[in-house]
Homo-oligomer: A and B are copies of this chain.
């Protein structure tokens, strides 16, 4: 069986149609669809993506039979337009364009006017009655073909053109006469000879073959590969090639070319939005050499063409039921459509269009929900840098907490606090932050650190506060003494200088960039309401304070999935008591210190329970190793020793004794609670006393106590015993009953592997996919910076597994954990509280795996709600599809 490599569209009939994007690419399927719909489309044909793939698998040879099909298709096009390719009297010219399944802007290049040579040039001049036009067309063709197909640096041609214009005193390209252009063309041909060592190919068929190969070749060009990597597009899709009869927008003032959207892609407003150029070819619009006019002006200049275009645009939008991105050319007052595709749009526009189209009856709610990329909502929730503004990026770090902020650089947290009180906007810049810097972080617009990963103190605290943060920016060197930092490129930023941070991408920008405020309008609320109807998974939040809880609830969180009690330890003077507890040598001393911490914890829990009235709150018992609460530099240790009234060598010895080679795998999580059950007891008491207090006050409290870092059911059982014992005591003492659950984080491979055993005790599981990813990969998030970016670049890993859940490996453990856990306890409640809980593809995985909820930071809650809705809709559609085929 021979494959069909070429799909013709011509004379109101096309071999392909709009659903064949995989084979014909976006552009090709659009042209086929428009042709079939009877719209005015210049005839042509599409070479399939399969041909491209075979080109690569066969060592860059055109597939057998392709050329015969191309010739046959070309004859059909010739017949349709009544011209002949390569004919000296009545020549057919074609455009050659790439067109992959996904649009990749700025990467695949287009060759226009292909088929010109000395002979056909004359034919074109005769045909058009315009020698200057023909010469200009030829000039453009040689220039584009030379650059794109023959790989000659574009500036060679640009320089020659500029030189010519200077020589003859021309300002615009259009000032050049036919003779000037003829002379210029000679220079162009000389450039080609110089650069390639051969003459310019004059055989139109050779031109066509070279152009087709160039399109195939560009699929693996550096820029295309990079774009696919960034946008996670598979390398084996291949690109199609569209060969289409030329129409000319530059044959006079009744000609023109333009691009337009059926709705405003920035705001979503329903009106034709776009621009056009009179008497111009497409590249002139793109190149920005001449300033195009707004599409509305076309109505005045060519009212009939405009009316026709508006009607075509409306038809196409209705046909595709989505905003269309159109390209058109007007030749002698006749409209030709060159492209239609679904338009890219901003988050705001995506939401508005989706909601509007439902009211217009164009799409249903499910479709509307599928139309918005969850990550786009981030634009609506945070300030962002005006994309139109030019900015100077001076350094790059980790996108540790999204949003953007501007402020004056300050290196000292106390100073930050003072300046903030004085009404200044500051950005705190530190090598890394520690609990002592907390007040300075609160006072700052944003935080920039030179060290530390996505889970560093700065990153975690900033995310909790919804504050922009760029962390681990190793490209800057901070000098506290001289109050300045220097970038890799040697730029110095001093105390008080303005900078802007973009925490969504991790950029440090010089000066004050203009910011755009977030928009949470009715459209957003409507869409979110639909999402909540559609989804089956609950969405909770990771929140450690009453304030965070409040914010998250406003964003639609249905409870807390992870409340990290240790973050409470850092606030204010509490850390003193915590340190006293750690340094304690006896159980008595430890108990005394714990008694000081207990009231703080109780008050925190009361605040959180109130904020989450009626919703479940999952509280994790102490997790980090104790040395995290102690200083490590000798000077800091000395200072603390003095403050605590103990000898410095004693404290130093304690710090050394607690030192761990691999703290991530050390004495933390439930291992602390097992060696020091009194810590768990204190925490449980604070939780239940708070719960009782709230219950008395009429607040509905649903605490879920979560034991971290469990690797065997015996650990969980021991900690569960402590919690239940304290719960019984508190309820007995107060006479108030509180319903509660005891469960565990599944964050170690062994916990997932033995989940059936663990579910004998656990009433719920919450997958801690941050740590689970670290242990499953044997990869420290703090240390991976040295090679993980390289890994993603080399495609060893498709994504950073700390951002996008690794479904093949870590996901297998999650599936196993859910399956085994429910085999023991069928009503086991299962959630996820790693960073992945707010990442759309991971949320989809969680839905598919049967999780009851995802939990994420407050500002990711809307994203997770939408992603969960999309997963539910896709699931339903998949079921429909499979039951349809059954």
Contacts and interface: CB of A to CB of B under 8 A. Distances in A.
Given A666-B780, A748-B776, A778-B775, A809 B711 contact: yes
Interface string A543-556: 00000000000000
A150 interface: no
Given A749-B775, A810-B750, A661 B780 contact: yes
A674 to B, nearest CB: 7
Contact of A813 (B665, B675, B753): B753
A271 interface: no
Contacts of A750: 776-778, 806, 809-810
A234 interface: no
Contact of A775 (B715, B757, B776, B794): B776
A671 B784 CA distance: 10
A809 B754 CA distance: 6
Interface in A380-405: none
Contacts of A675: 786-787, 790
Nearest to A786: B667
A665 B753 contact: no
A486 interface: no
A482 interface: no
Interface residues of A, number: 49
Given A674-B787, A675-B787, A753-B812, A665 B797 contact: no
A635 to B, nearest CB: 15
Contacts of A812: 753-754
Interface in A751-784: 753-754, 757, 771, 774-780, 782-784
B749 A813 contact: yes
A135 B542 CA distance: 78
Contact of A777 (B667, B711, B787, B791): B711
A179 interface: no
B667 A778 contact: no
A713 to B, nearest CB: 9
A325 interface: no
A714 interface: yes
A796 B667 contact: no
A264 interface: no
A643 interface: no
Contact of A660 (B666, B674, B780, B810): B780
Contacts of A795: 714
A796 B663 contact: no
Interface string A799-812: 00000001011101
Interface string A620-640: 000000000000000000000
Contacts of A715: 796
Nearest to A710: B778
A529 interface: no
A666 B777 CA distance: 10
A779 B712 contact: no
B664 A665 contact: yes
Nearest to A714: B796
A171 interface: no
B660 A783 contact: yes
A709 interface: yes
A214 to B, nearest CB: 30
A586 interface: no
Contacts of A794: 674, 714, 718
B796 A718 contact: yes
A664 to B, nearest CB: 4
Contacts of A660: 780, 782-783
Interface in A659-681: 660-667, 671, 674-675
Contacts of A665: 662, 664-665, 774-775, 778-780, 783
Contacts of A839: none
Contacts of A787: 667, 671, 674-675
Contacts of A835: none
Interface string A492-509: 000000000000000000
Contacts of A50: none
Interface in A574-597: none
A178 to B, nearest CB: 56
A33 interface: no
Given A776-B775, A778-B771, A778-B775, A753 B667 contact: no
A747 interface: yes
Contacts of A783: 660-663, 665-667
A711 B788 CA distance: 13
A711 B666 contact: no
A798 to B, nearest CB: 10
A715 B792 CA distance: 12
Nearest to A671: B787
A681 B343 CA distance: 49
Contacts of A784: 666
A776 B813 CA distance: 11
Interface string A692-721: 000000000000000001011011001000
B712 A778 contact: no
Contacts of A757: 808
A747 to B, nearest CB: 7
B662 A796 contact: no
Interface in A811-859: 812-813
A806 B753 CA distance: 12
Interface in A707-745: 709, 711-712, 714-715, 718
Given A661-B664, A675-B787, A783-B667, A777 B748 contact: yes
Contacts of A662: 662-665, 780, 782-783
A755 to B, nearest CB: 11
A712 B753 contact: no
Contact of A712 (B780, B790, B796): B796
Nearest to A795: B714
A577 to B, nearest CB: 23
Nearest to A452: B661
15 contacts: A660-B783, A663-B783, A665-B775, A665-B779, A666-B783, A674-B794, A675-B790, A711-B779, A711-B809, A714-B794, A748-B776, A748-B778, A753-B813, A754-B812, A757-B808
Given A662-B663, A662-B780, A749-B775, 10 more contacts: A660-B783, A661-B664, A665-B783, A666-B784, A674-B794, A712-B797, A714-B796, A714-B797, A750-B809, A775-B778
Q: Which 10 A-B pairs have the closest CB atoms?
A: A665-B780, A662-B780, A750-B809, A661-B782, A749-B749, A666-B783, A748-B778, A714-B796, A662-B664, A660-B783
